[in-house]
Structure 1
Amino acid sequence: MKLPEEMEAGSSISPTNQTFEIILGSSSMSRREILSEMGYEFTIMTADIDEKSIRKEKPEDLVMALAEAKADAIMMKLKSNGELKEISQPTLLITADTVVVYQEIIREKPSSEEEAHQFIRDYSGGSAKVVGSVCITNLVTGTRKGGWESAEVYFLDIPDEVVDSLIEEGMIFNVAGGLMLEHPLILPLVDTVVGTADCVMGLSKSLTEKLIQEAL
């Protein structure tokens, strides 16, 4: 299979997936790191969909719909480039989505500094729920498997100067709910995580592994 120029190689010394290829349909650095930690070698494509055009009342339904829409968009891109029909060996497309739920309200990426500030201030001394989906599409057989997991994050008090630093840095505008568990300014202020850290960071390792086996 000739890979589109957009793709980049993931890093792995001894890849777990020696009998199949993986395309990670995400620009998230956290998801790239998690998939690399799992021992997989992969290439990258982005979906470039209008996420705001897809609305669901339940967070679980929303993250599933978004992950599937990303998969569909990437498959269309591969088809239009003539790459899809060239795939001969097993190839899995992994897409995912994450939202934060605070007081029953779904939060996606902050759209302004004011919103980002409010999001983080709300978490101070409180908690938030993270819901993340994984969708795996076998590009040869057409088989698609998906699922979601959730985790609860409990925070200590978050000082104003930390909030200001996070906003000035800007990275939180790229993550759901402005919540970056792994950020060095936030990590020391996390009291408890009920669930897995990788789910909060955007890609549940256990769910991804399970769905990979099912999709193959």
Structure 2
Amino acid sequence: MLVLASASPRRRELLAQAGYEFSTAVAGIDESVREGENPIAYVTRLAREKAVAVHAVQPADSIVLGADTTVVSPTGEMLGKPENDQDAARMLRLLAGATHTVITGVALLQGSHAETAAEVTYVTMRTLSDAEIASYIQTGEPRDKAGAYAIQGYAARWIPRIHGCYFNVVGLPLALVTAMLEGIQAKRTR
């Protein structure tokens, strides 16, 4: 049985879209960045911690999937979910007119076997006016999104190109998850 250790509706939608049967459980962990922690180390650590926390309360044969996504601005700042509308506007100004990075850490845990990986996608966003940013914030869409935008929503009109996995930007790199699941299942049958 696959268990998604996430409250993200986008991750649930993506797994369902890909044909996976799964249940969900939420892990309450501290998501603070540690001093000196780089973005890949950060998201893979959180993905692993989420998987471990949920695995502890699941049947032993469950496969637990943890994931965490961050947006890294062109200046290197990790952007999580905005604290308020002003923070969302600040983030969008950082991303507008440049290419930024979206990184998702993925962890799979079954029994004593664990796998962790990260997917990196480069996203180019066109220049935005203050009026466009204000109008977008009024939609409410940026409020619960890392980097304050949803590529699958209204903000899609601002993204002329990506290099890498589109689904990573939405919140879960499906091809990576599938490869990891196939790997963990192959090890079970040996």
Question: For residues 97 and 56 of structure 1, what CA distance do their matches in structure 2 show?
Answer: 18
What is the correspondence of 1:142-157 to structure 2 with a 5 Å cutoff?
142-157=112-127
Identity percentage over the alignment?
Answer: 26
**Does structure 1 residue 211 correspond to structure 2 residue 180?**
yes
CA contact (8 A) 2:10 2:170 kept: yes
Ranges in structure 1 where 5+ consecutive residues have no aligned partner: 1-20, 79-83
Structure 1 pair 54–194 and aligned structure 2 pair: CA distance change class (3 A): same
Question: For residues 145 and 26 of structure 2, what CA distance do their matches in structure 1 show?
Answer: 16
143-152 or 28-37, which deviates more: 28-37
Aligned to 1:100: 71
Match of 2:6 among 23, 26, 29: 26
- CA shift, 1:215, in A, is 1.9
| Amino acid across the alignment from 2:67 | A
Equivalent position SS for 1:181: coil
CA contact (8 A) 1:145 1:214 kept: no
| Amino acid across the alignment from 1:153 | V
What is the correspondence of 1:10-159 to structure 2 with a 5 Å cutoff?
21-52=1-32, 54=34, 57-76=37-56, 78=57, 84=58, 87=59, 90-102=61-73, 103-138=75-110, 141-159=111-129
Aligned to 2:188: none
- CA shift, 1:206, in A, is 1.2
Ranges in structure 2 where 5+ consecutive residues have no aligned partner: 186-190
Query: How big is each residue's C-alpha offset from its partner over 1:79-111, in whole Å with a ceiling of 9 and x where there is no partner?
Result: xxxxx3xx36x4211110011111112111112
- CA shift, 1:56, in A, is 5.0
**Greater C-alpha radius of gyration:** 1
Q: What TM-score do the two structures reach when normalised by structure 1?
A: 0.78
- The alignment yields a C-alpha RMSD, in angstroms, of 1.8
Q: What TM-score do the two structures reach when normalised by structure 2?
A: 0.88
